[in-house]
Amino acid sequence: MIHRRWFRRRKPQVDCREVGRVLQSYLDDNVEPGFAGKIAAHLDECKKCGLEASTYTEIKRSLGERRPKVDGEAIERLRSFGSKLTDGRTPGQ
């Protein structure tokens, strides 16, 4: 009469809200190592937060680079492409 299954229920250590709140500090290495481990585990399991974290990382990396790798023109092009998408218009029509 041992219900081991009960123990296999995985309880997330931190939830999405918590991760969202500390994500930027976490990426800046401003959280305790133990806590950072929990966040890392969550990001590993949660697609939504994992995606958010990688987006932040990308932004941080491009901002952190001294050399302007991404020139303003490229950003503008990307921006207008994005707004075309939100307009619902197909480019080339």
Query: Which residue ranges make up the site for Zn ion (CB under 5 A)?
Result: 16, 46, 49
Instruction: Pick the closest to residue 56 from 25, 88, 13 (CA basis).
Output: 25
Nearest approach, Cβ of residue 88 and Zn ion (Å): 30
- CA distance between the termini of the chain: 68
Task: Count the neighbouring beta carbons within 10 Å of the beta carbon of residue 46.
Answer: 17
Nearest approach, Cβ of residue 40 and Zn ion (Å): 12
Q: Which amino acid is it at 79?
A: R
Q: Which is nearer to Zn ion, 16 or 36 (CB)?
A: 16
Q: Which is nearer to Zn ion, 16 or 27 (CB)?
A: 16
Tokens in use for 12? 């997330």
Q: Which is nearer to Zn ion, 4 or 10 (CB)?
A: 10
Which sign, positive or negative, has the C-alpha torsion 57, 62, 63, 65? positive
Nearest approach, Cβ of residue 21 and Zn ion (Å): 11
* Residue with the CB atom nearest Zn ion in the bound state: 46
Q: Which is nearer to Zn ion, 47 or 69 (CB)?
A: 47
